[in-house]
Amino acid sequence: MSKAPKNAKIEPDSTPLDTAQVVEFLGANPGFLHDHPALLERLDLSHPVAGGAVSLIERQTRVLRERNAALQARIDEQLDAARYNEQLHARLHELCLSLFPATSLAARIAAIQTHVGKLGGDVLGLKLFGDARLIPEANRADREHLDFQRHFGSFLKARSPLCGRLQRGQLELLFGDQAAEVQSAALTPLGVDGSVGILAIGSHDPARFQAHLGTDFLRQLGETVGQALWVATQPE
């Protein structure tokens, strides 16, 4: 293979740089524009909305402000969620205190009904499994009934709360004559294993209970209320 003459002129690579290479270079050399200030005069940094040229410092300042605003919005959202959760747990505590002196099943159901509004709902749906002689007809349910299994079998098997829009048949089984008023609902199994029944909180607002909402509070509510109702449904 022949060698190039010693005095031969080596031409620079004429392959143009692509955008990714330029970005990579500037990212690896953050002081480049500081060392070459003349380039700043040639950069096009027009205002993204109003148009017109702005300085690099102004552009950087604007970007930082936008990032700070987005970060503050996320912080505010998390604080609002924390305050809301704190309020819910305070209301759960109030409900627990109201259940202790209520020894009969009817009194405990009445206490739960009183707190529905404080839990963010408008309508209470409460269905209990157990001895039909001890449970009011309005709150009685046979979990093995074909119709009940069709609508709630998967829910009870999952043993997990849920929020969102319910099917018409589900609404009618849970809320009876008030089913048409319920636009969204939160459901939780009663008892650790869901063996006590189902507690449903219905809302007139279709956006009140949505599928993406957290369910930790509902799980605690179901376990607490379920235990209180289970005790009240046991034969003496």
For 103-232, CATH gives: 3.30.450.40
**Mean pLDDT over residues 35-51, rounded?**
63
Give residue 3's pLDDT: 54
What are the helix (H) ranges across the chain? 19-28, 32-35, 56-99, 105-115, 146-158, 168-175, 216-232
Predicted confidence (pLDDT) per residue in 148-196, tens digit: 899 999 998 998 999 999 999 999 999 999 999 999 999 999 987 888 9
Predicted confidence (pLDDT) per residue in 132-142, tens digit: 888 888 898 88
| Residue 157 burial (C-beta neighbours within 10 Å; 0-12, 13-18, 19+) | exposed
Which tokens hold the place of 214? 């957290």
